[in-house]
Amino acid sequence: MYTNCTFAVNDRVATLTVNRPDKLNALNAATIGELEQAIVEVTSRDDIGGLIVTGAGKAFIAGADISELAKQTPVDAKNRALRGQRIFAMFERSRKPVIAAVNGFALGGGCELAMSCHFRIASEFAKFGQPEVKLGICPGYGGTQRLPRLIGKGRALQLLLTGEMIDAAEALRIGLVNQVLPAADLLPRADALLRQIMANGPLAVGMCIEAVQYGYDAPLDEGLNLEANHFAILAGTQDMREGTAAFLDKRAPAFTGR
């Protein structure tokens, strides 16, 4: 049951739309719970191959709900951060592809959720920022950790310390998003990208995500060993037999995820 979000599945592509447009899709506790519900559905349902995350109206997500933050104690704040971090990590660790289609404001927790997706595309109207310092707080859903990993320490610190908003063109220039499109083309492009990924071997896609996710912060030797092990595991799958046989037979592969 979704109240603050909508969740729809169309021919194996799920779309999660945060839907509190009158509050610019701000993440209150209930909405964060629905994000968890959605990512659990995506990872557990066999009829879903990938996920698009987007927002209704002029915002993607304008951050955590400031009316809830205003009342929090240090204990509440710690619990809030840990809960959000745990749920956002589920998006990042999903072995099914997750694309953020950023349609508008992606601020604070919105920018952090977008960064927890596997990659981001944006409409020309998207705006990004980590404005927490303007409220006298710091990011709590991974912004201080994922932003420097994605765009580099100096650029991340500039965004984190100034709290400034950047437009889609600047987000593209610094590598925060992979592509900027006219608004009407955003969701069709996300859908096409997911379908391109989903046409590949699903076990192989999952292994790529895992190797990048777990190898990224590991020493190179450990990451390379992880990759070699994943390469070996995939050699035992029907999908590898099918993918290589289809190439040699000059036909399209029919992957089963086995």
Supply the residues annotated as catalytic. 112, 132
By CB under 6 A, what part of segment 78-117 binds ligand COA? Answer: 105, 107-108
x/- contact string, 182-211, with ligand COA (CB under 6 A)?
------------------------------
x/- contact string, 5-44, with ligand COA (CB under 6 A)?
------------------xx-x------------------
Q: Which is nearer to ligand COA, 24 or 208 (CB)?
A: 24
By CB under 6 A, what part of segment 128-157 binds ligand COA? Answer: 131-132, 135
Q: Which is nearer to ligand COA, 66 or 174 (CB)?
A: 66
Q: Does 67 bind ligand COA (CB under 6 A)?
A: yes
Handedness of CA 196, 199, 204, 210 (dihedral sign): positive
Please tell me the distance from the alpha carbon of residue 71 to that of residue 79, in angstroms, as a whole number: 14
Q: Which is nearer to ligand COA, 88 or 255 (CB)?
A: 88
Of the residues 64, 102, 156, 166, which one makes contact with ligand COA according to CB under 6 A:
64
List residues binding ligand COA (CB under 6 A).
23-24, 26, 62-67, 105, 107-108, 131-132, 135
